[in-house]
Amino acid sequence: MTTQDAGTDAHETAPAGDGEDATQSLLEREGDIAADYLEVLLDIADLDGDIDIDVEADRASVSIIGDGLDSLVGPAGATLDALQELTRLAVYRETGVRSRLMLDVGGHRARRRAELATIGREAAERVLASGEPERLAPMTPFERKVVHDAVAEVDGVISESEGEEPERRVVVQPA
């Protein structure tokens, strides 16, 4: 999981003077705290799932893997977004540091990331062909970041975000 949404850079969250090792250590600790929190949640909800912890792109990444986890994703990932925020709060409570932890459940974010990358690339190709800007549907910060990254891989186009949340969207235009 290499995508990042808007938020504080992980290097900014490490105490001043600590190097990359301190940042790595903090991110590993965030993953462990998140895993403990999520294990309790899974027990309370009587759900089975394996928890995978990683550090990717300067952030802790935690995935709950298993079948029958749709209730933790919810419609359009809304429950997953809320669960991610609660997990970040649990990490903050333990560390005193704002976390940019990414949570995935049942591969939902991974599938959505691939879908959004395709949307970004296809929009970029249409803009290249037509020469006209294209405004995409409103998206979350995570979703916009994935689209911006995909558009950046196509020469001859650029992307920017416009509007106010929750109607903020990506606009792809000729470079």
Three-state secondary structure readout of 88-157: HHHHHHHHCCCCCCEEEECCHHHHHHHHHHHHHHHHHHHHHHHCCCEEEEECCHHHHHHHHHHHHCCCCE
The range of the structural domain enclosing residue 42 comes to: 10-106
Computed over every residue of the chain, the mean pLDDT equals 89
- CATH number of the domain residue 74 falls in: 3.30.300.20
Number of domains in the chain: 2
State pTM to two decimals.
0.77
Residues 122 and 92 in one domain: no
| Among 106, 131, 163, residue at a domain's last position | 106
Residues 17 and 51 in one domain: yes
What are the tens digits of pLDDT across the range 1-39? 333 333 333 333 344 445 678 888 999 999 999 999 999
